[in-house]
């Protein structure tokens, strides 16, 4: 989460590391606490390494999780007896691994911020763009199986709350006993988004945000619904493992269709917030199913959410009905106008 190509699987090539940070930037980063607005902008460090090791885990009494923190001075394996919180109280971005001796599932867990698997030699801007696109096509990752990892696999994270873009590459690994995974990490500091004022009734929340629903991103086969959360401040977020405001159901689930999970109605023309709310709320329906065969480029639907007091206009941009069926949409959301 198009758009689908940006967060493609890794080709196995090794990205060329960006140039080393300047002395002044390195010194500033080294003296900085956890991520904050006072941190330097730009490249903080390049190609710093840290290792997850099954041997290290056993020697440290086999903690349930091992952590690598991405501090402003480098990637560091955390002592199990310490926290991952920096001097100013903010948590470091990072990776978590459950070693085999803990009895937990051996996978790499990201830190809750969206992560995209990428290829090539990403820059700060392309890394950030890949993550943002992964939210729109359902490919954003929260974890990754150790068994699926290979040297050269590359991931990007955009830790928006703390203003960090992080490039993570598997420098080397052994999936055999003992498991050992070495990561090479590059980190940039970027401006944190300014906090927008809450939208006023009838005011735009986001506009013309594209996203794709379909079968291409499904995990474990194509017979999996894809859903999108539409009623949020950051725009549409697609997933293949949960519910949302709008879902696509493939043919294998009893007929290809989309379903709106709230009062919704088809509309025509360039409707605004008030007309969109009236159409959706006045439909008399708590949900709406539309067969894939009835969709075409230009089809428009309005959906209302009483939970978030917002309304969204969803337009169909294109429809593909081949084996990897997909529908590209564009969405605009408003704060619901004041009732008259």
Q: What is the 3-state secondary structure (H, E, C) of the chain?
A: CCCCCCCCCCCCCCCCCCCCCCHHHHHHHHHCCCCCCCCCCEEEEEEEEEEEEHHHHHHCCCCCCEEEEEECCEEEECCCCCCCECCCCCECCEEEECCHHHCCCCEEECCCCCEEEECCCCCHHHHHHHHHHHHHHCCCECEEEHHHCCCCCEEEEEEHHHCEEEEEEEEEEECCCCCEEEEEEEEEECCCCCCCCCCCCCCEEEEEEEEEEECCCCCCCCCCCEEEECCCCCCCEEECCCCCCEEEECHHHCCCEEEECCCEEEECCCCCHHHHHHHHHCCCCCCEEEEHHHCCCCCEEEEEECCCCEEEEEEEEEEECCCCCEEEEEEEEEECCCCC
Q: How confident is the model at residue 165, as a pLDDT? A: 97
Cα 161 to Cα 184: distance, rounded to the nearest angstrom:
23
What's the pLDDT tens digit per position in 185-202?
A: 999 999 987 766 788 999
Winning range, highest mean pLDDT, from 8-12, 103-107, 287-291: 287-291
- What the block records as the tokens of 215 is 């079968």
Residue 327 — pLDDT band, cuts 50, 70, 90? Answer: very high
How far is Cα 20 from Cα 152, in angstroms, rounded to an integer?
A: 20
pLDDT of 268: 94
More confident residue, 219 or 127: 127
What's the pLDDT tens digit per position in 129-182?
Answer: 999 999 888 889 989 999 899 999 999 999 988 899 999 999 999 878 889 999
Rg value, the chain, Cα:
22
Q: What are phi and psi of 244, to 5 degrees?
A: -165, -160
pLDDT, mean of residues 30-55: 76
d(CA 248, CA 116): 22
Which is more confidently placed, 208 or 15? 208
With cut-offs at 50, 70 and 90, classify the pLDDT of residue 287: very high
If you average pLDDT over residues 213-226, what whole number do you get? 69
């Amino acid at each position: 989460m198009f758009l689908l190509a940006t967060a493609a699987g890794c080709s196995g090539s090794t990205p060329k590391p960006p140039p080393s940070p300047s002395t002044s930037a390195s010194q500033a980063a080294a003296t900085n606490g956890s991520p904050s607005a006072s941190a330097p902008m730009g490249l903080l460090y390049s190609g710093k390494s840290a290792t997850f090791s099954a041997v290290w885990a056993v020697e440290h009494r086999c903690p349930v999780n091992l952590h690598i923190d991405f501090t402003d001075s480098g990637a560091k394996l955390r002592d199990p007896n310490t926290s991952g919180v920096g001097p100013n109280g903010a948590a470091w971005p990072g990776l978590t691994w459950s070693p085999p001796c803990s009895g937990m599932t051996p996978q790499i867990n990201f830190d809750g911020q969206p992560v995209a698997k990428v290829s090539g030699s990403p820059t700060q801007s392309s890394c950030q763009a890949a993550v943002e696109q992964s939210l729109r096509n359902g490919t954003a990752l929260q974890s990754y199986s150790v068994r699926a990892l290979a040297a050269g696999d590359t991931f990007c994270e955009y830790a928006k709350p703390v203003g960090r873009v992080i490039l993570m590459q598997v420098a080397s690994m052994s999936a055999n006993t003992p498991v050992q995974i070495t990561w090479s990490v590059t980190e940039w500091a970027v401006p944190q988004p300014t906090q927008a004022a809450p939208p006023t009734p009838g005011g735009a929340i986001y506009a013309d945000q594209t996203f794709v629903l379909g079968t291409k991103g499904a995990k474990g086969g194509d017979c999996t619904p894809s859903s999108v959360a539409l009623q949020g401040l950051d725009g549409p977020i697609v997933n293949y493992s949960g519910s949302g405001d709008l879902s696509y159901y493939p043919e294998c689930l009893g007929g290809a269709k989309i379903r709106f999970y709230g009062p919704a109605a088809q509309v025509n023309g360039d409707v605004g917030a008030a007309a969109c709310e009236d159409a959706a709320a006045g439909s008399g329906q708590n949900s709406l199913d539309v067969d894939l065969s009835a969709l075409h480029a230009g089809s428009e639907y309005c959906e209302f959410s009483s939970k978030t007091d917002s309304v969204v206009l969803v337009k169909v941009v294109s429809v593909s009905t081949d084996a990897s069926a997909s529908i590209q949409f564009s969405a605009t959301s408003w704060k619901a106008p004041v009732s008259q």
